[in-house]
Structure 1
Amino acid sequence: MTAEAVATESPCAMMRREAKSSREDIERRRKAISHLRSEIIRLQGQADPDQKAIAALQQRLASLEEQLQQEELSLDTLEQVISENC
């Protein structure tokens, strides 16, 4: 978006654009979480699973899930503001 377009964008339009961007980010994070879960399951199914690798992936998974929860909460708040003010 150009600087001129941002300068003339209404607050409601800006919030809607941010909400759309947040929904897209949340969807990407959900896909990353799903991929990570699949990878953990694949590693656990091996004859001699690498426990350190699994533990590292599980730690990353927990971090992503926490970030997702925060993003969903922020989006919910933004959507409430939009519905009340726009």
Structure 2
Amino acid sequence: MSSENITIERWKTQFKETAQQLANELIAEAKTKNTYGEATAYIRKISQQAYGDITDPEDRAGMAVNDAVCSLAVRRLHEEERSLPINKED
């Protein structure tokens, strides 16, 4: 494998790990809420806070990261919620 491919793979891995870490932190914070619905609403509220000057590359990058991390966090939270057992009353 060429050194360029190794470098590209390293960046790919680093971006993925960073997004996962940020999503995990956001989920942990969201889980301080009482229900999955409230946790999801909290993450969506954080997502809506991404704002800035779209002509500023740093603001635009921050908005893209916010969107990606919040989307990942909501998806993981919903997957967890969907895997919960059904409470069956006898």
Task: Select the structure of larger CA radius of gyration.
Answer: 1
| Larger fraction in helix | 1
Q: TM (normalized to structure 1)? A: 0.49
Which has the bigger relative contact order, CA under 8 A and spacing at least 6?
1
Q: TM (normalized to structure 2)? A: 0.47
